[in-house]
Structure formats: structure tokens, C-alpha cells
Structure 1
């Protein structure tokens, strides 16, 4: 009996309440822009993105309560549009920065980026519309974030009159929790990157045993990364940290021991110089060069991890594509008697959107190929590959979102596979002589951007439609709001990336502020290495082969854990990203994972309602820390551009390190106490 209750929506199909409204439309578009900016910063910093549906729902409830009346369906529409911005930016930041890293672009070109984001995102929505009934209604997949978001929305009540509805207090409390955490994250970032009162992190390089052992370690004092670790959980947080240990604590001294002369030569130090005469600055250069070499281990592991993701998804791939095809065949929204809660965008409109998309997709590729003699033929082939791969991977993303959620969806893995396959196909057609050596990799990255955007939106769309299914939304209206969120985010993403590139640098030193620590952009760096390498740019294979071996070992460990039925797994991509990133970024992520695990374990004996309340509080706090720091990071980048890189304003403050550590510890204590008291 209880199982049947799950399918009864909060708002019955026969009841019509406010849903598609002007205020929901405007608020959804604005939040999509804001969350896109926040996720761009975090995603470029650590290569991980987290679902924004729950914080978007909390913000929506908090803001809509300012109006005299609002409904749960309006709240759902706002979070639907808002979360689209978070998802779309992942598709862009994992791919498009490769064009700047490979120097095909000098900056982030507005027109092509908007076109890729809008067309890729809309196709992601269109490809998954027929999947809704097959995966949500019939297959009844979990869609964990969609269900969790629906639970958050329920706390605000069905119809909210701010003068009478007591549940308005619940909505305001969730919004206040998120807002306070965002303020903390933003203020910490301001005093760190903007003013210089707090250190961004601590680092050390030590030469031990007469130079025979080189120790390098660091920690980033970031509340946002603490929040990322809290949300992704201990398993993923530990694996990212493990990757950092492999690349830095283990890899740096081993690389120095075996390749010392080559490392010294690469840093411009005379190899005849005795190690006893090396200065602290020279040891720092050596450690940095040794670590840069080790990052290629992460590249190799990501390559195998991406291919393994595709192999592992063979069964879900077939099921997702089959469900999509079956849904296309059975779709007929013109039959009478379809309940409001089951009315999707009519299938002939979906087909028309896909057909019309062929034109802009073709011209996107034609523009990328410039004056190449066979540009029309190559653009036609790339358009065909986009439609085929886009449909397949959107189906996979939608299916996997139902199994493991959007945050754990292996989007970057399937994009890596796309880059490898499409680059090999184009290499066979174009060769690598003359302009083909330059234009081929560019076309591949354009394809990767379109497909990654479509797949990212597909997973998010399915989560939101699941949430809508639980609360009683009208599917076709939600699908419209997904498109609204896509377009709104696409309009601001190029501005955000340009500002971040000038303020910090993305995958390379900033041309305006070369002293700033660049945002790592691990996936984009890998895309550039693969596309350029396949077209003859050259790949240094030694460390990549080590990454291959590491990936194989992790796959074996993961299969062993799977057979044991263990919840603790070893996904390759999490470790690979950790190897590629500076160790310091993975340390606060690991601390956040530990904090989340400890609080969950402490609450395990509490009643279900109390556990749910603590979990929601923790997620809102973590999301707030991420959003606040990320948005302030964007504002500091704007300041860096305005003041020609002269930020932070206080340079070399003597107590910055101690104050930074004390502030970071205070944020941990605050998070623990707030969750514990909820």
C-alpha cells in the first residue's frame, strides 16, 4: 500500500494552481545565471560540480514568500530553471577552455560559446522528453536528487499565503540557513583574495636526507571546498584526496629520485650543481616541475577512466536508448484523457526542434573549420556525429541520473570517449597536414562542448521531471522552464569565463594577473591534450602510461568491492582528478567528507524525520558556502580586471596564515554545530 502512495502527486492532476507565472519565469532565469556563475568557478577550480536543485528550491521558497501568494508548483518551476544553469555550465567548462589552452582562441568568444551552450542544452532537453514516462513512471528509477528536492519543496506547503500559512516559517528558515552560509563563504573569500587579510592556503617544500627525499605538501583553506566534500560524501572525497597523495606526497619524491637531472634541466638549473647548494627557491621550482610531470598520470588515468565508463555503461546505454526509442514510438499527446501531470511537450514539436537544430549545429562546425577546403563535408559529418552521439549520451545521462544522481553522473567520462572517437574519425578523414592539424582539434572540442552540454542538461532534466512527478507538476511546462534556464545561463557563461580567465587564469596563467593561482580546469586540460595529441601535437607518454596502470588497478579494486557488495567503491575518475589537481585542493574536500560522514553516523539512531532535517540543514549549509565563496570569487576577479591585477590589496600580511587557519577551523565548527543543533 505504501508503495502505491509514492505515485500519488502532492497536487492531484485534476487540480490547477499557479505554475507557469511571470514571477517564476523571471526568478528562475536570474537564479540560473547566478548558479551558473558559481558552478563555473567551483568546477574550474576542482573539476567537480554538485547538483544545485536543493539550494535552488530553498532560495525559491525564500524569495517567493515575499509575494502574497505562491505555490509549490511555482517553486518547482523556479528550481527547474535555476538548476539548468548549474548543469549547463558543467558541459561548457569541461570542454571549451581547451580552445584557449591550445591557443585556438585568445579569449572566450561570446557568439560561438552562446551558440554551443544554447543548441547543446536545448537538444539535451529534447532528447530526454520522450524518456520521462519510460524512466520515471514505468521504470521507477530512484532519481535521488529529484526526490530530495521534492521533499524540500513539500516543507513550504502547497499554497503559501504569507499572511496565514504557518509553513511559511519553514521556508524562511531554509532560506536563512543558506543565506547565512553564503555570507560566510563570501566574506571569507573577500578577506582572502580581495583584501589579503587571510591566507588562501599553506604550503611547504622540504629537502630531506641530504636532498635524497623531496617533500611537498599544501592545503587550501577554502569553505567552498569543505562544502564540496560535504555534499559528495566521504567515498568520493577520500578518492580525490588519495589522488592528491599519489600525485604529490608519493609522486614528487619518486619523480625527483628517478629523474632528477631532467627536472633540474627543465627548471633551468645546472645539473652539475650539488644538491647541497640549491636554494629554497630552487627546491620550490624543482618540486613544482616534478609535480607538473605527475599531473600527466592523472591525464592517463582519466583517459582509461573515460573509456571504462563507456564500457561499464554498455547495459545502461542500451536500456536508455531502447527506452528512448520505445518512448518515441508510443508518444501521442493528442489522445484524449491524458492527465495534466502526464502531458509532455507533443512529440512532433520535439522532432521539429531536433530537425531545426541541424542548421545551427552545421554552421557552428562550419565556423570552426574556417576556410578549410572541405569544410562543408566535414561540418556535415560532425553534425551527423553530434546528433548520433548526442542522442546516445543524453539517453545514458538521463538513465544514469535515475540510478546514481546528477552529481555522480559520469558526464566527463563519456565526453572523454567522445573526444577520442571523434578525433580518430576526423584524423582519418582530414589527416594532420597543414591547416588540418590546427582545425581538426578545434572541431573536436566544438563537438565535445555540444555533446557534454546536452548530456549534462539531460541528467538535470530527468531529475527535475522526477521532482515534478512527485509534486504534481505539468511536464510540458517544466520542459519550457528547462529551456528558459538554458538560455539564461548561456547568455552569462562567456562573460563569467572571460572574467575568471583574466582574474585567475583558466588552465594557464592569467594574461592580466600572472601572479594569481590559475583555476586548474582538469577536464578541459585533458580534452586539449587528447585532441591535439591525436592530430600530431605530441603526447608525452611515460607518465600517461603510469596513469593507465593506476586506472587498471583502480578498476580491479572497484570490481572487487562491487562483488563484495560494498558501498565504498573506487571510481577511476575521482582519483584521476585528485592526481591532476594540487594536493591542497583535495585536503579541504576530504575534511568536508569526513565531517559529513561523522554527522550522518551520529544521527543514524535518530527518527527518520530528525535525520532528514539534519541532512537538509547540512546540504543547505554546504551549498551556501560553495555559492557564497564562488560568487565572491567572480567579483574578486572583476576587481582584479578593474585594478589591473592589483589584488589582494594587502600584500604579504604577516598574520595571514594563522588567521586563515583559524577562520577555516571556525567554519568547520560552525557547520558542525548548526547541523548538530538542527
Structure 2
């Protein structure tokens, strides 16, 4: 019996995949709003699948592959949603996330991502043979079947630790604060140092590695240790309103206010220039991928195709494109109320969707899904859509910014799913799976995840607040939602909004310098790179979030040095598999606990419902000690020689 004839799309595989997709979507929603990053989840999903199916009597490699395919859609849909849809609340268009609208945008965007990526599979995976590192790593886990019971225990221990740390922090029992920070006035300038105490951010850093960890911390240093002191010393007097607010304020309060009013817009400028640069730098690869995808589709249209090369038929793709696009046309018409605008919006969405799914798929093949610059792609979409809509609706349109966000949201969901789809199809190609079955499972996973996005978003917003949204000032530490705030700023700025354009211009200049330095590093063959979007995120977010990400990346580097270094992607995956499972457990445990904590807060309408008496609040030293202990455990698990 051929490998592809083994059981794949079974009922139990579909059910398990949906459950995992929903859990991973919820966890990545929290993580994305909190830290501006999400993680690829194929490997943890593969380990859990092998363990659960073994308890149910055993499952073959292809059945496990189907489970991880559908489950990984959860993190992709979460990325597409949290990067864009909260902008509608930030703009004041919604006061809560509307279920039917979020479902339509996320679900239909995800389905379009599957459709647009089908013609690219043969080109990028078979013909060009791109690396798709997460796909290869997932295939290795599936092929070796390394002791899934031990892997699940690793995930379980880490998730428990991450969850308990979140429960003990500021939004839970309040045993210790969310961050340990210190600031002081130095003349007219401000010196600021601090770290968030989140184990999830430590896990993120371990997964993304030392290079990205250094770059995001560099962005934080530019914003908090360079720009804020310069602004407070030399430019604060030119802003009387801000200066009046800071009269008598502590150094920490002043740093936060200056960052919020001015400095974070340096990150906006850097991300804008980074998004444009993403398109420019990928133009040749984009057109090459599209051409070869269509050529492969035409070549295989009439021949007998092996089971391991069968995609969803192009006739069904064409029908699906029409069926999934018409509801979006109706949605856009409902927003703008005139066909002369809604039809161009739909055309922009289709064209940009296909183009950027191609870009996302190609970049996922080169650098992996976790480092895929989807936010830059989305910025470019919103910027272009906003400019077109200015012509159609006028610059003073009250709905123009919302319409641009709606286009970008669908494209972002499609691009996230497209990159993820190709990673999963790469794993399937290695283990001998049937592509169309994976594509169907990914569509099921995408829709299943979309079903829970609005309730999760509403729960998190009600309990923690979303930075930039009306009423967020009532929350001590609202979720930053950096990409959504950026998208809202870009759209609002195009349609007559008041933004600090001088600061944004300086940020764009910083971004251009970063791009020039990174291009030089690439040309000279240096391993270390400075991706502009990662540095821009560091500028845009509080530096305290970047410190544990850097520490996690440093820990990853130490583990690799201890275990001998990686000669290639497969060796890198083998070295870091145990550590990545532990890191993924920290992220999942903390994120899910954050969601569970939100439930009593929302039900009682009391942010302090779980807080212990003040006599049991131990301060930042307890959180630092706990974070150090968890880092030590992560290191010990990562260097263990026994199978995981």
C-alpha cells in the first residue's frame, strides 16, 4: 500500500485538529495583542497529535500530519485578525468586536488564502524546492515519532509554569507586578531600565533566536534610551501641552507619556518604510513565483497526477473564489454604501490578496512563518487602498479609514494562511501526504478558528483593555496591540487625521538607515541581519517587553553552543526541539491563563477580583526570581540528551 493510501482525513483527526486550532488561536490572540508577535505552532501540534492518537489506539504519520496541518491554522488566523481588526475599535468604529463581521473577515480571508496558495505549491515546493524550515522541522518530528509522551509532559510542565506565573502576576493574584522597572531624571533627560516578567516572552525569544532578540532590543534602546532622553532634554519645551502634563511627574511617568505621545511614532515611520521595502525587495521573486505557479497549473491540467501531487482542482478553486468573494463585496457595500467604491475595494482585495499570498508563501519558504513580514505586507495594502479610497471617497470621508482597514484585514488573513499552508504542504511533501486533503483540512482549521475570534477579542478587551481604544486609559496596562495601532494610525493619517508627521518622518529615516545597514550585511555575507520590521516593533513597543525576548534568544544561543552548533536547518531543529517544546508550553500556558483570568474579571466587572491582600504583594523581586527559575528550567530541558 502506498503511503498516500494510508488513513489521513479521518473523523478523529479532523476533531482533534479543530480542538487544537481553537486552543492555539486563543493563545496566539493573547500573545499577539500583548507582544506584537505570534509563533508557528506546527511542532507542538504534531507532538500533541502523536500523543493523543497513540492513546486512541495509534495513528499513522499521515493522520498526524493532517492534525498538525489544521491545528496550525489557529495561529495563522489569530495573526491575521489581531494585526488588523482591533484597529476598528481603536478608530472608534466599533465599541466591541462584532461576531458576524469578524467571522466573515477572518473566515473568508482564510479560505481565500487557501485558494490563492494552491497554484503556488508545485512551483515553490517541488520546482524551486524552497526550505520552508518549520515545515521541514515538523516533518522530522513526524518521521522520527520521538517519544510523544515525553514531549507532551514537557509541554505540560512548561504550560503549568507559564500559567501559574500569569496567575500570580498583576492581573491575577498580584503577588508580583507584571514588570520590574526603574527610571530617574538625569538633568533634563530620563534614564530608564526595566524588564517584563512574562515567561511567555522568554519563550518567544527562545523560538525566534538571538539575532531577532538583539534586533528588537536594539529597537527598544533606540526608542527608550536614546529618543526619549533626547526629546525630554531638547524638545519637550516645544510641546507646552505635554510639558504641562509632566509637571511634577516621576521619571517613569514622564518616560511613558513621552513615548506614548511622540516616540512610538518613530516605530510607525520605520514600519511604513519597512513595508514598502518589503515589496520592492521581493518584486522579482513575486513575479517569478506567480508565473511558475500558473505554468505548473496549466502543465498539470490534463495529465494523470500522482496521489501525492493532487491539489484541489482548479475548477473548484475558481468557483470558491466567486463564492467567497461575493459576501465580502456585500460587506464592503454595507460599509461605504456606494457600488463605485465597494467594487474597486473588492478588486483591490482580490488582486492584493493573490499578490501578497504569493509574497507570504515565498518568504515562508525562505525564512519561515515566524519571521514572515506579513505586517509589512498589510501596511502596504492599507496604504495603497487608502490612497485609492481618497480618490473615490474624498480625504474628509468619515468611513475611508475603516474601509481601508477592512481591505487590509482580509488580505492579512489570506497572507497569513497562505504562508502557513505552504509550510504544512512542505511537511506533507516530505512524508508523502495528499495535498488536497491537507488543503481541505487547513480550510476547516481556518474557519474553526475564525468562529472563536470575536468572543476571545471581546473577553480580552473587556478585562485588560486595548491600547489606543476609547476607554483604554482606565486600564493600568492595556494590551499594546502594536500592529493594529499602526494600521489605525496609517489609515487615519491618510484620511485627515492628526498625526505627528515630523516624528513619523524621522522614524522613516531611521528605517531607511536600518535597511541600508542590513543590505550591507547581506552583501558582505554576514550571518547577523537587522530586519527593519523587527527593529521597528522594538521601537514601537515598551522596552520592557523586548528584554525577556532578548534573554530568551540569548538562552537559545547558549544551548546551541553547549550542544555543538547547527550545521543546517535540520540540525538546528534537532538541537532545539526540546527547548522549543518547553518554550511553546510557556507561551500557551500563560496565554490561556490570561484568557481564563479574564472570565471572572468580566463577569464581576472588577479588575481586582482575584487580587490577594496587599500584605501578600511581594514586589518585582519575586517575579524576577520566578523568571530566572523558569529560564534555568528551560535551559535544563533544552540540553537534556534523552528523547523528547
Tell me the equivalent position of 1:348.
315
Tell me the equivalent position of 1:574.
534
Is contact 2:121–2:425 with CA below 8 Å preserved after alignment? yes
2:229 to 226, 232, 253: 253
Q: Deviations over 1:612-665 (max 9, x none)?
A: 544110110111111111111111122221221333412644423221111000
SS at match of 1:91: helix
Tell me the equivalent position of 2:174.
196
Tell me the equivalent position of 1:640.
601
SS at match of 1:473: coil
* Separation (CA, whole Å) in 2 of partners of 1:221 and 1:497: 23
> In the TM superposition, what is the alpha-carbon distance from 1:527 to its structure 2 partner?
0.8
Tell me the equivalent position of 2:327.
360
1:101 aligns with 2:63: no
2:183 to 192, 205, 209: 205
Deviates more, 1:261-270 or 1:43-52: 261-270
Unmatched runs of 5 consecutive residues or more in structure 1: 1-11, 157-166
Is contact 2:4–2:308 with CA below 8 Å preserved after alignment? no
1:328 aligns with 2:297: yes
* Separation (CA, whole Å) in 1 of partners of 2:267 and 2:293: 35
Q: Deviations over 1:524-547 (max 9, x none)?
A: 111111111111112211211110
TM-score (norm 1): 0.91
* Separation (CA, whole Å) in 2 of partners of 1:504 and 1:256: 29
* Separation (CA, whole Å) in 2 of partners of 1:119 and 1:360: 8
Q: Deviations over 1:229-270 (max 9, x none)?
A: 111111111111011111111121111011233556326448
Deviates more, 1:576-585 or 1:514-523: 514-523
2:612 to 629, 642, 650: 650
1:459 to 419, 422, 436: 419
2:584 to 620, 623, 629: 623
* Counterparts of residues 15-94 of structure 1 (less than 5 Å): 16-94=5-83
1:554 to 514, 527, 531: 514
1:543 aligns with 2:503: yes
Q: Deviations over 1:66-93 (max 9, x none)?
A: 1013111111111101101101111111
Tell me the equivalent position of 2:254.
286
> In the TM superposition, what is the alpha-carbon distance from 1:288 to its structure 2 partner?
1.8
* Separation (CA, whole Å) in 1 of partners of 2:250 and 2:15: 55
* Separation (CA, whole Å) in 2 of partners of 1:103 and 1:45: 20
Query: Could you say if the C-alpha distance between residues 516 and 666 of structure 1 is closer, same or farther in structure 2, counting changes exceeding 3 Å?
Result: same
1:599 to 559, 566, 571: 559
Tell me the equivalent position of 1:241.
217
Q: Deviations over 1:119-170 (max 9, x none)?
A: 11001001111111111112111111101000011122xxxxxxxxxx6xx1
1:308 to 277, 286, 289: 277
1:231 aligns with 2:201: no
SS at match of 1:65: helix
* Separation (CA, whole Å) in 2 of partners of 1:358 and 1:673: 50
> In the TM superposition, what is the alpha-carbon distance from 1:673 to its structure 2 partner?
1.1
Unmatched runs of 5 consecutive residues or more in structure 2: none
Is contact 1:256–1:263 with CA below 8 Å preserved after alignment? no
TM-score (norm 2): 0.95
- The aligned length equals 636
* Separation (CA, whole Å) in 1 of partners of 2:47 and 2:636: 20
Is contact 2:111–2:443 with CA below 8 Å preserved after alignment? yes
1:478 aligns with 2:438: yes
1:518 to 478, 496, 508: 478
* Separation (CA, whole Å) in 2 of partners of 1:559 and 1:507: 34
Tell me the equivalent position of 1:671.
634
Query: Could you say if the C-alpha distance between residues 611 and 285 of structure 1 is closer, same or farther in structure 2, counting changes exceeding 3 Å?
Result: closer
* Separation (CA, whole Å) in 1 of partners of 2:255 and 2:445: 44
Tell me the equivalent position of 1:5.
none
Query: Could you say if the C-alpha distance between residues 553 and 513 of structure 1 is closer, same or farther in structure 2, counting changes exceeding 3 Å?
Result: closer
* Separation (CA, whole Å) in 1 of partners of 2:475 and 2:469: 8
> In the TM superposition, what is the alpha-carbon distance from 1:341 to its structure 2 partner?
1.0
SS at match of 1:129: helix
Is contact 1:331–1:347 with CA below 8 Å preserved after alignment? no
* Separation (CA, whole Å) in 1 of partners of 2:83 and 2:430: 32
SS at match of 1:206: strand
Is contact 2:189–2:229 with CA below 8 Å preserved after alignment? yes
* Separation (CA, whole Å) in 2 of partners of 1:144 and 1:301: 27
Q: Pairwise CA RMSD of aligned residues?
A: 1.9
* Counterparts of residues 390-469 of structure 1 (less than 5 Å): 390-433=353-396, 437-469=397-429
* Separation (CA, whole Å) in 2 of partners of 1:527 and 1:182: 32
Is contact 1:263–1:286 with CA below 8 Å preserved after alignment? no
